[in-house]
Each structure stands twice: as C-alpha cells, then as structure tokens.
Structure 1
C-alpha cells in the first residue's frame, strides 16, 4: 500500500514557511559540509605540504560528521514524520544516512579515493534532498495527532 502524504502536490514555495525547521536546516548544512569536505579534500591535500597533519585531520573528521549527522537526521525524521506520516521520506532520510555512514566506515577499504568520494557525495545528496522533502511535506500538512490505543473493552 503506497504511503502518500495528505496532499499529492506540494504547495508553492511562496506558501511555505520562510525557513525549514531547525533539524532539517541543520541536516542540510551538515550534509552539505560533508559533501564539500569530500569533494575539496583531495584538491587541498594535493596542494598541502603538511601531508601528515592533513591526514590526521581527515581521519577525525569522519567520526565528527557521523556524531553530527546521526542525531540530526533522526531528530528531523521524528519531527517531520509526526507531521506528515510519509514513510517514503523517512526511508530516504535513513538511506542517505546509511550511505554516508558506510562510506565513512568502509571508505578507506575501497579501491581508490574516487569510490569513497562518490559514495559519500551520493549519500550527502540523498540526505539533502530528503531533508528538503521532509520540510516541504511537513509544511504542507497539518500535524497528525499522536497515535492512541483504543481502550480495552
């Protein structure tokens, strides 16, 4: 059974709140920083004469991004899903997070830096798009009341 939002079309941007909710803004920002890091680090490292220091910086950035992305994505997912109840958006948020985490954990085991960068950028783009959709879907509908359990008879 498809899980469609309350409205099948998104409202025009002019009718949406000026800014996405905090957790989606933070998730978009962190995912964007992660993507920029992955795209620019090879260029910076090629130009940097302090290779050992740059390599140490690169090694600790992955756990820092993970520590920031996991709670941000999960909080955005919970807050957004409470409003729109769209499982597809929740799946995309989780998928993007998993892709980025897999690239961060297994990236150095992959042959060549291109594979790690490609997978991380793919995960970051999925996360950014999912946060965007989470914001749009949440802004397009009224909040759903919390699920209640019917009383036992």
Structure 2
C-alpha cells in the first residue's frame, strides 16, 4: 500500500532542483515581476528551501548511518554542503561562488550514502 521513501533519491532530486532553480532563475528574472512573483532573494523562500534540504538530508543520512553503514563521510559531506548553503545566505555577495560547492557536496553526500547503504556489510569501500 505505502511505498518506502528513498530519502537519498529525494535528497539528490531536491539538490538538483535547487541547482536548476538557481541557474534558471536569473534567466527569467525580468518575467517574474510581471507575473507578480517575488522569490528572488526572498529570505523566507530561501530559508525555507535550506530548511527543506536540511530536513530531507538529515533524515537520509541518519537512516543510512543507523541502519546500513555507520560511516561518517556522508554526514561530513552533507554538513559541509549545509555550511556553504547557510554561508551564501550570510554573505550574499559570494553567493555564486559558494552555491556550486554546496550543491556538489550535498549531492555527493546523498550518492555516497545511497551506495554505502546498498553494498553488502563486509564489502570494502572503494
């Protein structure tokens, strides 16, 4: 009846959608005010997206760590990505420099967490 949620796949998807959002938004910046939409540098929207990434990512990392692999590397990569995301909110003028690192670290954390969760317990990490 209910399907299990693959939190890593959801995390990768939201991270990629966030990257697309950040890449495409400048291209349609002139259109948004005409449509009455203001999500550009809207603190509520940006912080909400960061909060969503944190909740989904934390859930995925915790599940993988607790039930499958007990490796800290996915956690460390995810934490690094979240630090970059929060940093871009604090230092807006470095946003374009910080965001790619955030996305790469978070997506890498989810992919590693997924791979570690799917390998046999006695299989070495490569």
2:124 matches 1:127: no
Give the Cα–Cα distance (whole angstroms) in 1 for the partners of residues 32 and 73 of structure 2.
46
> Could you list the runs of 5+ residues in structure 1 that have no partner in the other structure?
1-20, 143-153
Match of 1:84 among 69, 73, 88: 69
Match of 1:65 among 49, 69, 83: 49
Q: Map 1:12-27; keep pairs closer than 5 Å.
A: 22-27=6-11
Identify the residue that residue 50 of structure 1 maps to in structure 2: 33
Match of 1:102 among 57, 62, 87: 87
> Could you list the runs of 5+ residues in structure 2 that have no partner in the other structure?
122-126
Q: TM-score, normalised by structure 1?
A: 0.66
CA deviation string 1:46-101 (max 9, x = no partner): x42727944x2221431221121111111111111121111122111111122122
Cα displacement (A) at 1:121? 2.2
Larger radius of gyration: 1
Give the Cα–Cα distance (whole angstroms) in 2 for the partners of residues 141 and 95 of structure 1.
27
Q: Number of matched residues? A: 115
Give the Cα–Cα distance (whole angstroms) in 2 for the partners of residues 44 and 87 of structure 1.
39
Cα displacement (A) at 1:138? 1.0
Match of 2:58 among 74, 78, 84: 74
Give the Cα–Cα distance (whole angstroms) in 2 for the partners of residues 117 and 38 of structure 1.
9
Higher relative contact order (CA 8 A, sep 6+): 1
Q: TM-score, normalised by structure 2?
A: 0.78
